[in-house]
Amino acid sequence: MAKSLSNEIKRRISKGLKGNKNAVGKKTEETKQKMRESRIVYMSSGKVKKKDTSIEIAIEQELKKQNIPYMKQAPIEGIALVDFLLPNKIIIQCDGNYWHNLPANKNRDINQDFILNFKVIKSLGLQRPRLKSQQRGVF
């Protein structure tokens, strides 16, 4: 059985945390950036098993059919983990309707695209309805 903390111990902990912005879940921008970069490295390490979406499967089949070389789930300069990286810094992001239409994710995608375009990386974001209506001539 866990022992509860005495009021004196709770007071000391509270006093020690006062004024510490990072103690209660608030992180500096530097810390957030380090966390983003660590996540990108981890996700691209191959340790995470990820099931491809239907959009990713269709794009990969088309890339193979067209003999276009690519890297899958490639990290880009600590900014993002992209679905496909093609020669000449062209990336393809396969955006599903549900997750990428949530307000927080929309804003993240807009910011990410802005930074990638600023770094002269050509970005193509595909969404399910657009892909299905254009399947005959994707490339």
pLDDT digits (tens, 9 = 90+) for 60-102: 999 999 999 999 988 887 778 888 999 888 888 887 777 677 8
pTM: 0.60
Q: Note whether residue 77 is domain-resident.
A: yes
Q: Note whether residue 112 is domain-resident.
A: yes
pLDDT digits (tens, 9 = 90+) for 18-59: 766 555 567 788 888 788 888 877 777 777 777 888 888 999
Q: Note whether residue 102 is domain-resident.
A: yes
Residue 44, SS3 per DSSP: coil
pLDDT (mean) for 112-133:
66
Q: Note whether residue 79 is domain-resident.
A: yes
Query: DSSP E strands: which ranges in the chain?
Result: 71-76, 80-86, 90-95, 122-127
Q: Note whether residue 100 is domain-resident.
A: yes
Q: Note whether residue 91 is domain-resident.
A: yes
Q: Note whether residue 119 is domain-resident.
A: yes
Instruction: Give per-residue burial for 16-47: e unless 16+ CB within 10 Å, then b.
Output: eeeeeeeeeeeeeeeeeeeeeeeebeeebeee
Residue 45, SS3 per DSSP: coil
Residue 48 CA, chain-centre distance (Å), reads 14
Query: How high is the pLDDT of residue 69?
Result: 95
Burial of 91 from C-beta contacts in 10 A (0-12 / 13-18 / 19+): buried
Domain coverage including residue 118: 54-139
Q: Note whether residue 13 is domain-resident.
A: no
Number of domains in the chain: 1
Query: DSSP E strands: which ranges in 16-102?
Result: 71-76, 80-86, 90-95
* CATH classification of the domain holding 93: 3.40.960.10
